[in-house]
Structure 1
Amino acid sequence: MNHALRRAMANAKMTETQLAEACGVDPKTIGRWITDPSRIPHARHRWAACEALGEEEAAVWPTAVRSALKTGPDREVIQVFPYRSAAPASLWRSLITKAQHELTFAGYTNYFLWLEQANLAGALRRKAQTGCRIRFLIGDPDSPVTRAREDEENVPLTLSTRIAVTISELARLREVGNIEGRFETGHVNLSVFRFDDEMIVTPILARRVGHDSPMMHLRRSQADGMFDRFADHVEELWTRGRDIWEETHHGPA
């Protein structure tokens, strides 16, 4: 929730419809600005809104201001969270929804996505049918790397069990074109999720599961920047990966 925008509207005694008229947008767009804090309006709309509300842009959309002021490599860093679980589920849904060309889920299990994103399978199916390439790079459940990480995490819901959930969900989408899956283990300590030119990166800390690890939201703005470095890392692992359906002992019955 963009609480700053909602407070500014309340202070100005302005409804969504009234603000929409001032900005030249649909009232539903104002609703999305309020409910999805990751959604940053175009500059002209931000300026119109702030003028109508009598607020400074830095107070209503600080992320946009910080991004505009950054000139170094860190300008690709949109926001950070000390824990992945602290990021709103709406951020993930927004990134998935906006992506048109590429979705890459290079989390070791990707288990949490199926739990936290309502009808993720349906969303992926629709994306794939419109030509979006969708890839899942998941850990090999039988690898010694996986077993070593399981020993370190020492939690009842093991990595191999969480991986099995993702394999089961992907099996239901196997007939859909543009959806691929491969096994690899090189990302056991670093999860990377790509949504066209935006990305979420989660370095996995010692003895911590994914939701307890820090998270960065990146947006590509330069060649060979942080975004490209992480993207190259995923591409290298993808070339080494093995197709999950060629592993007959893991394939659906």
Structure 2
Amino acid sequence: MANDRLRAAIDAAGLTIEQVSVGVEVDPKTVERWVYSDARRPHRTTRLRVAQLLRVEETHLWPADRRPSAAPAVAELVHLYPTRSAVPFTLWSELIRGAVEAVDVLVFSGQFLVEQHDLLPVIRAKAAEGVRFRLAVGDHSSPAVVQRAAEEGTAGGLEGRVQLMRRYLHDVAHLPGVEVRAHGTILYNSIYRFDGQALINGHAFGSLAGQNPTLHIRKVPDGTIWEHYMRSFERVWDLARPETAER
């Protein structure tokens, strides 16, 4: 299994594998092996140099006990980003394009997924390969969306972005394995699940989504954080109304 924490920390620091290798004076292929195999770890002196370079704790990158079942809550957390805007573009791309089984999205708008990450062609290609997509977006006329827009100071703006996203998704809602639903629940968290990894964007009163902290988590045996948020997604999904996909 890849060392997702190390990869996330490198991305968060704005560095490349080559730059890390220069910083700790090892071959780039050695750093690649650390990233793509959790079983490969450097000597402690080198681990400390890597941690110092990336400005994180060494034990976060390489926990003393690597068995997920020993500390599932710790193993589940890959990285905490101070804002959604701080999540590296490369991470979004890896997660979106790396999905091979299922993608679940819970948002009010999520417009940036289409306009910044070109989601629609990915949906078309991956749906043809058997990947399942469940996309829950807001109902622009619901009290929850209207209230959220007023609270964040974008009265009318959020409603428009929601309508735009629903229009975007109308073009793929007819595809086999793709389901789009509209919901009017309070959006406590936006959830972006890609197979066994997810980004959880919490929301704070009066703040825009991009300004709020985002958790990068992964599914591990006996983990409770993952199940907690996936249950939340399922509850909203059950309440949401299927969108029509007339062609």
TM-score under structure 1 length normalisation: 0.77
Shift of 1:173: 1.4
Q: What is the match of residue 62 of structure 2?
A: 65
Q: Report the alpha carbon displacement of residue 88 of structure 1 after superposing the two structures with TM.
A: 0.5
Q: What displacement does 1:178 show? A: 1.0
- CA distance in 1: counterparts of 2:23 and 2:217, whole angstroms: 33
Give the match's secondary structure for 1:3.
coil
Structure-2 change in CA distance of 1:92 and 1:58 (3 Å): farther
1:15 to 1:74, Cα distance in 2 relative to 1, 3 A: closer
Other-structure match for 1:116:
116
Contact 1:108 1:187 in 2 (8 A): no
Q: Please give the per-residue CA displacement for 1:36-71, whole angstroms capped at 9, x wherever unaligned.
A: xxx931135x44xx47xx962454475541483872
- Aligned twin of 1:216: 215
What's the CA shift for 1:208?
0.8
SS at match of 1:192: strand
**Structure 1 residue matching 2:198: 3-state secondary structure:** strand
CA distance in 1, matches of 2:156, 2:48: 43
Is the CA contact (8 Å cut-off) linking 2:99 and 2:195 kept in structure 1?
A: yes
Mapping 1:141-220, distance limit 5 Å: 141-155=140-154, 158-220=157-219
- Structure 2 counterpart of 1:42, from 28, 37, 42: 37
Measure, in 2, the Cα distance between the counterparts of 1:59 and 1:225: 32
Distance 2:189 2:133 in 1: 19
Q: Which blocks of at least 5 consecutive residues in structure 1 are unaligned?
A: 24-29, 34-38, 246-250
Kept in 2, the 8 Å contact 1:58–1:65? The answer is no
Counterpart selection for 1:6 from 18, 28, 31:
18
Could you tell me how far 1:5 is from its partner in structure 2? 4.2
RMSD across aligned C-alpha pairs, in angstroms? 2.9
Relative distance call for 1:111 and 1:42 in structure 2 (3 A) is same
Identify the match of residue 56 of structure 1 among 36, 42, 46.
Answer: 46
Q: How many residues are treated as equivalent by the alignment?
A: 225
- Are the structure 2 counterparts of residues 230 and 58 from structure 1 closer, same or farther at C-alpha, using a change threshold of 3 Å? farther
Aligned equivalents of 2:19, 2:151: Cα separation in 1: 45
Tell me the CA shift for residue 228 of structure 1: 0.5
Native 8 Å contact 2:72 2:220 kept in 1: no
SS at match of 1:56: helix
Give CA deviations for 1:170-192 in whole Å, capped at 9, x if unaligned.
12213321111111122423111
Shift in alpha-carbon separation, 1:85–1:15, aligned structure 2, 3 A: same
C-alpha separation in 2, matches of 1:92 and 1:110: 13
Check whether the contact 1:150–1:158 (CA below 8 A) recurs between aligned residues. yes
1:126-145 superposed matches below 5 A: 126-145=125-144
TM-score by length of 2: 0.79
Provide closer, same or farther for how the CA distance between residues 252 and 144 of structure 1 changes in structure 2, counting only shifts above 3 A: farther
Work out the CA distance in 2 between the residues paired with 1:224 and 1:8: 31
Shift of 1:75: 2.4
Give SS of 1:188's match: coil
Question: Could you tell me whether the CA contact under 8 Å between 1:4 and 1:59 is conserved in 2?
Answer: no
Secondary structure at the aligned position of 2:113 is classed as helix
Paired position in structure 2 for 1:26: none
Identity %: 20
